[in-house]
Chains A and B, each alone.
Chain A
Amino acid sequence: MVESISDLSSRITRGETTAHAVVESAVSAAEQLNETLNAFLEIDRKGALERAEGIDQQKKSGPLAGIPVAVKDNLCVRGMQTSCGSKILGDYQAPYNATVIDRLVEAGAVIIGKTNCDEFAMGSSNENSAFGPVKNPWDLNRVSGGSSGGSAAVVAAGIVPVSFGSDTGGSVRQPASLCGVVGLKPTYGRNSRYGLVAFASSLDQVGVFGRNSRDVATALGVIAGRDPYDATTADVAVPDYVAELSGDVNGTRIGFPRTLFGVGLDAEVRDSVEAAMQTYRDLGAEIVDVELPNAKYAIAVYYIIATAEASSNLARFDGARYGFRAEEATTLRSMYKQTRDEGFGPEVKRRIMLGTYVLSAGYYDAYYRKAQQVRMLLREDFKRAFQSCDAIITPTSPTPAFLIGEKTDDPLAMYLNDIYTVTANLAGIPGINVPCGLSSERLPIGMQLLGPNWSEPTLLRLGDAYERVKPFTERPPLYAGV
Chain B
Amino acid sequence: MPINESDIEKIAQLAHLEITREELLIFAPQISDIVTYVEQLNEIDTSNVEPALGGLTPEGEETNSTRDDVVAPSLGQELALAEAPDPASGHFRVPKVL
Binding site for B on A (CB under 8 A): 92-93, 95-96, 187-189, 201-203, 226, 228, 231-236, 294, 297, 299-301, 303-305, 309, 311, 315, 318-325, 329-338, 340-341, 344, 346, 349-350, 352-354, 356-358, 360, 367, 369-377, 379, 411-412, 415, 426, 428, 453-454
Residue pair A371, B41 in contact (C-beta under 8 Å)? yes
A353-B31, A372-B54 given as contacts; is B18 within 8 A of A322 (CB)?
no
Asked if B71 is an interface residue, CB under 8 A from chain A, the answer is: no
Whole-angstrom distance between the Cβ of B45 and the nearest chain A Cβ: 10
Contact with A along B22-33 (1 / 0, CB 8 A): 010011001101
Chain B residue with the shortest CB-CB distance to A337: B18
Chain B min CB distance to A338 (Å): 6
B84 pairs with A321, CB closer than 8 A: yes
The secondary structure that dominates the A interface is helix
Once the chains bind, are A320 and B83 in contact (CB under 8 Å)? no
Closest to B96 in A: A331
Nearest Cβ in chain A — how far from B59, in angstroms? 4
Complex A-B, nearest 4 residue pairs according to Cβ-Cβ distance, in ascending order: A202-B55, A202-B54, A372-B51, A231-B65
With both beta carbons as reference points, the residue of chain B lying nearest to A307 in the complex is identified as: B34
In contact, A334 and B95 (Cβ under 8 angstroms): yes
Residues of A within 8 A of B96 (CB): 330-332
Chain A's closest residue to B80 (CB) is A95
Residue from A189, A315, A321, A374 in contact with B56 in the complex, judged by beta carbons closer than 8 Å: A189
Question: Does B98 count as interface, using CB distance less than 8 angstroms?
Answer: yes
Q: Chain B residues with Cβ under 8 A from A315's Cβ? A: 16
In the complex, the answer to whether B40 meets A300 with C-beta atoms within 8 Å is yes
Contact B15 A305 (CB under 8 A): no
Give chain B residues whose Cβ lies under 8 Å from the Cβ of A96. 75
B94, A228: Cβ atoms under 8 Å?
A: no
- A352 to B17 Cα, complex, angstroms: 9
B46 within 8 Å of A by Cβ? yes
* Cβ-defined contact, A92 with B59, below 8 A: no
State A232–B56 Cα separation when bound (angstroms): 6
Q: How far is the CA of A294 from the CA of B56 in the complex (A)?
A: 20
Q: Are A373 and B59 in contact (CB under 8 A)?
A: no
User: Is the CB of B70 closer than 8 A to any CB of chain A?
Assistant: no
Contact B82 A353 (CB under 8 A): no
Q: How far is the CA of A376 from the CA of B54 in the complex (A)?
A: 9
Can you list 11 A-B contacts (CB < 8 A)?
Answer: A188-B56, A189-B57, A189-B63, A231-B65, A233-B63, A235-B59, A332-B95, A337-B18, A346-B23, A376-B51, A453-B59
Contact across chains for B57 and A428 when beta carbons are under 8 A apart: yes
- Return the chain B residue nearest A416 by Cβ: B37
Across the interface, do B82 and A350 meet the contact criterion of CB distance under 8 Å?
no
B73, chain A: closest CB distance, angstroms: 11
Return the contact of A353 from the options B8, B18, B65 (Cβ within 8 A): B8
Query: In the complex, what residue of chain B is closest to A367 when comparing beta carbons?
Result: B38
Contact at B11–A353, with CB atoms within 8 Å?
A: yes
Whether B34 lies near A329 (C-beta < 8 A) is no
Q: List, in ascending order, chain B residues with CB within 8 A of A92's CB.
A: 83
**Cβ–Cβ < 8 Å partners of A379 in chain B:** 52
In the bound complex, residues from chain B placing their C-beta under 8 Å from that of A330 are: 95-96
Contacts of B6 in A (CB 8 A): none
Task: List, in ascending order, chain A residues with CB within 8 A of B79's CB.
Answer: 95
Residues of B contacting A352 with CB < 8 Å? 15, 17
Given A231-B63, A346-B23, A349-B23, output 17 extra A-B contacts at Cβ < 8 Å.
A188-B60, A189-B60, A235-B59, A301-B41, A315-B16, A320-B84, A320-B85, A329-B95, A331-B95, A332-B96, A337-B18, A340-B18, A350-B30, A353-B8, A354-B35, A357-B35, A377-B44
